[in-house]
Structure 1
Amino acid sequence: MKKIEIDDELYHYIASQTQFIGETASDILRRLLKLSELSQSVVPTKENINKKIKKEFENTSNIKKEQVNELTFLLKHLDEVLNSDEFVDETKVVKRFLMILSALYFAAPERFTYGTENIQGSERVYFAKNEETILATGSGVRAKQIPSSPFWVITNNNTARKGIILTKLMEAMDIPEESIERIKTFFIR
């Protein structure tokens, strides 16, 4: 086995790509460079390896920057909705609930979709792309369409349950805890 020198940035990147305990640096590099364990005939040069790793690192950095930008937009939009006269003056919990859901969908539709697919009650579906799916989960169930979205949400839950639904959704969307706590304050009685 040969030793190579790499700078700290590359070392941390390689270490962050570990998929399981005990995975060696060689295994990680083989996976990142898409080399099979038997491909000994091709001997990558240090220069080629560094280029490939740096390119992979840049791609990962770009994805993280996009996620940060999306989250920043989402939080700014959510803040605008929560501070709007329409939201502040609204006295009906259901309408506030729908306004928050609409804001979340508008600002991050992919995150919202992912979140709705990953939460539901023990016996009820909270979100669906049609009213019938929600209504089929029990008698007396009511649903409303989330404004400006293709989604429907169950609405005849108590205020605390609406807060729990929003909390679970926002957690699944990777929204920071302080923003989730702010939303909770509107649904705690």
Structure 2
Amino acid sequence: MKTIEIDDELYQYIAGQTQKIGESASEILRRLLLGDDTKPALATPEEAVSTPATPISSSIFDLINKQDLPAESSVVGRFLFILSALARAHKKQFTKVLEIKGRNRLYFGRSAEELSEAGSSTNPKQIPNTEFWVITNSNTTRKKMMLTETAIKLGYSEQDAERIRDLL
């Protein structure tokens, strides 16, 4: 087994091509580059995702491999990675994140300026491969709460929202 380094944008693309839970980067690349047309295996009962109350277009669990998260060394990196995967899975619904706010500050916005104007020390970062921005200077507990609220807004069950939160 060889190790290669790839940039974040390419990694996001590869992760976005996942067709089954637990599919490795090697399997994805083999399928994309070599045309390996073997059909993806069905998820095992342990991997099965519970059905949410509101139907969703796709699932973050189809896009994120839990073993890929350690590649993001910081909490902020994992936070942005998870939000990016949610945005990919729910392109049409992702604008709902703009409704998630704190008592006195915005958590999500369409620009860094919008978030900076709504509070001090927000440290806004763009969610990769989206037009959305998020504040990143909050503590890990607040980031987990933001992920949970985002998942609920996108139609995930409470149980799946907790699973998403726990990816951080």
Give TM-score scaled by structure 1 length: 0.56
- Note if 1:180 corresponds to 2:161: yes
**Could you report, residue by residue, the CA deviation over 1:40-99 in whole angstroms, capped at 9, with x for unpaired residues?**
xxxxxxxxxxxxxxxxxxxxxxxxxxx74xx2x522xx2244315432332311111101
Unpaired runs of at least 5, structure 2 = 1-53
- Note if 1:149 corresponds to 2:110: no
The correspondence for 2:74, drawn from 83, 92, 113, is 92
**Could you report, residue by residue, the CA deviation over 1:15-53 in whole angstroms, capped at 9, with x for unpaired residues?**
xxxxxxxxxxxxxxxxxxxxxxxxxxxxxxxxxxxxxxx
Please say which of residues 169-178 and 124-133 is displaced more in the overlay: 169-178
SS in 2 for 1:82: coil
Which has the greater radius of gyration?
A: 1
SS in 2 for 1:79: helix
Distance 1:119 1:165 in 2: 8
* 2:65 paired residue number: 83
Q: Is the 8 A contact 2:110 2:131 kept in 1?
A: yes
Greater relative contact order (Cα < 8 A, sep 6+): 2
Distance 2:123 2:163 in 1: 26
C-alpha displacement at 1:146, in angstroms?
0.4
* Greater fraction of residues in helix: 1
| Amino-acid identity (%) | 37
The correspondence for 2:88, drawn from 106, 124, 144, is 106
Report how many aligned residue pairs link the two structures. 115
- Note if 1:74 corresponds to 2:67: no
Q: Residue 81 of structure 2 aligns to which amino acid in structure 1? A: M
Unpaired runs of at least 5, structure 1 = 1-66
- Note if 1:137 corresponds to 2:118: yes
SS in 1 for 2:151: helix
RMSD: 1.8
Change (3 A) 1:94 1:81: farther
SS in 2 for 1:164: helix
Q: Residue 89 of structure 1 aligns to which amino acid in structure 2? A: A
